[in-house]
């Protein structure tokens, strides 16, 4: 794809997300779709973090832990300490990044299924901590979290108070979509940078990368920290949308789904998590009509896709271009 084609594709995508979708939803009157698409955008952000750990050759099934941490950090800072939501957003991400560094230093030495099993346990540990710690209010969770207030710089209001808006769902959608675009822009730039090339070498052969002077421990921790930052930010916005957070808000099932989003979209493509999340989210809802057979059909379709499209849905486009 040429440089001009890439620019045109990005422009078309932005036009669809920020212009076409709100116009079509407004015309149809289906404002409930704002919440659905907001969820897709936020799940895409968390899944992008999981994709980053795949990029360094690690199977991450613990992103739900950081999403839960981010949600609680934001809620506690807003409700207990009176912070502005806009300050808690980066604070939640940074807290999760710091926690991931402390956790990642020992566990990132593990590989394959061993690393996967440890990360799988993290989500359950986070849930149990949320149940046990007094600051999280235990099983009762944290409720009545206020909507994001106004964001102003030098007295100029950049983002209005969500509570004063006629349609806060649209505001949350635009916020989630903007952060999703920013997130994938960061991931794309990271992957195509010098650090990205070094991270790719870890996926292929860590021993060889280490033998030529690559600081593999540093790269693993950096990738894992960025991954957890994305999970924390997504969790913080989820808490703001629902105005509540509970120990069960993010479970092991969510962590597995974040991983499946990456597989479905394609591990070899930066935008794979975005497409995978969109298809998986709407696909699951569509299968709801099948009743008790929903999980059976869903599982069968996933197995078939893995067998016939091991490189994900985006590999179809790559195959078509090659044939063309």
Specify the pLDDT at position 206: 81
Say what percent of the chain tops pLDDT 70. Answer: 98
Q: What is the mean pLDDT of residues 23-43?
A: 93
User: Region 259-280: what's the mean pLDDT?
Assistant: 93
Adjacent-strand bridge partners of 156: 153
- pLDDT for residue 316: 84
Q: What digits encode the pLDDT tens for the residues 40-86? A: 999 999 999 999 999 988 889 999 999 999 999 999 999 999 999 99
Instruction: Check: CB of residue 56 under 8 Å from CB of residue 218.
Output: no
Which of 66-75, 234-243, 294-303 is the least confident region?
294-303
In this predicted structure, the answer to whether residue 324 has a pLDDT above a threshold of 80 is no
Using alpha carbons, select from 120, 105, 101 the residue that is nearest to residue 62: 120
pLDDT at 5: 84
Give pLDDT, residue 318. Answer: 63
Position 258 pLDDT exceeds 60: yes
In the prediction, which pLDDT does 157 show? 87
Residue 153 has a pLDDT of: 85
Give the chain's mean pLDDT: 91
Would the pLDDT of 2 be above 80?
no
Question: What is the pTM assigned to this prediction?
Answer: 0.93
CB atoms within 10 A of CB 202: 20
Element holding 156 (H helix, E strand): strand 156-159
Give the model's confidence band at 323: pLDDT under 50 very low, under 70 low, under 90 confident, else very high.
Answer: low
pLDDT of the residue at 208: 83
- Band (289; pLDDT cuts 50, 70, 90): confident
> Comparing 153-167, 225-239, 310-324, which segment has the lowest mean pLDDT?
310-324
Q: Which residue has the higher pLDDT, 173 or 207?
A: 173
pLDDT tens figures, 96-135: 999 999 999 999 888 888 899 999 999 999 999 999 999 9
Please name the residue ranges forming H helices in the chain: 3-15, 21-28, 32-55, 63-79, 85-107, 112-132, 168-191, 194-204, 206-211, 216-242, 252-265, 272-286, 294-308, 314-323
SS3 label, residue 161: coil
- The phi, psi pair for 141, rounded to 5°, reads 70, -170
Kindly report, residue by residue over 182-215, the tens digit of the pLDDT: 999 999 999 999 888 888 888 878 888 888 888 8
* Mean pLDDT on 143-163: 89
């Amino acid at each position: 794809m040429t440089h001009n084609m890439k620019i045109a594709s990005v422009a078309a995508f932005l036009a669809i997300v920020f212009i076409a979708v709100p116009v079509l939803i407004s015309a149809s009157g289906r404002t409930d779709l704002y919440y659905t698409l907001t969820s897709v955008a936020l799940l895409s952000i968390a899944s992008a973090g999981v994709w980053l750990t795949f990029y360094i050759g690690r199977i991450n099934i613990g992103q739900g832990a950081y999403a839960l941490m981010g949600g609680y950090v934001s809620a506690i800072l807003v409700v207990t300490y009176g912070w502005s939501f806009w300050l808690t957003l980066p604070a939640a991400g940074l807290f999760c990044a710091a926690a991931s560094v402390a956790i990642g230093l020992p566990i990132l030495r593990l590989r394959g299924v061993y690393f996967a099993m440890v990360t799988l346990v993290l989500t359950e540990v986070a849930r149990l901590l949320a149940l046990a710690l007094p600051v999280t209010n235990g099983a009762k969770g944290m409720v009545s979290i206020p909507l994001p207030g106004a964001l102003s710089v030098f007295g100029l209001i950049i983002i209005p108070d969500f509570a004063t808006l006629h349609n806060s769902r649209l505001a949350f959608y635009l916020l989630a979509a903007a952060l999703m675009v920013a997130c994938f822009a960061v991931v794309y730039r990271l992957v195509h940078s010098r650090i990205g090339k070094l991270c790719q070498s870890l996926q292929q052969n860590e021993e060889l990368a280490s033998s030529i002077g690559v600081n593999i421990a540093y790269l693993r921790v950096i990738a894992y920290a960025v991954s957890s930052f994305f999970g924390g930010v997504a969790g913080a916005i989820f808490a703001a949308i629902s105005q509540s957070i509970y120990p069960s808000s993010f479970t092991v099932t969510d962590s597995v789904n974040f991983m499946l989003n990456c597989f479905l979209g394609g591990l070899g493509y930066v935008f794979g998590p975005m497409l995978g999340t969109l298809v998986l989210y709407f696909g699951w809802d569509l299968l709801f009509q099948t009743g008790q057979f929903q999980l059976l059909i869903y599982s069968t379709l996933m197995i078939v896709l893995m067998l016939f499209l091991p490189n994900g849905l985006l590999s179809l486009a790559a195959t078509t271009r090659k044939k063309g």
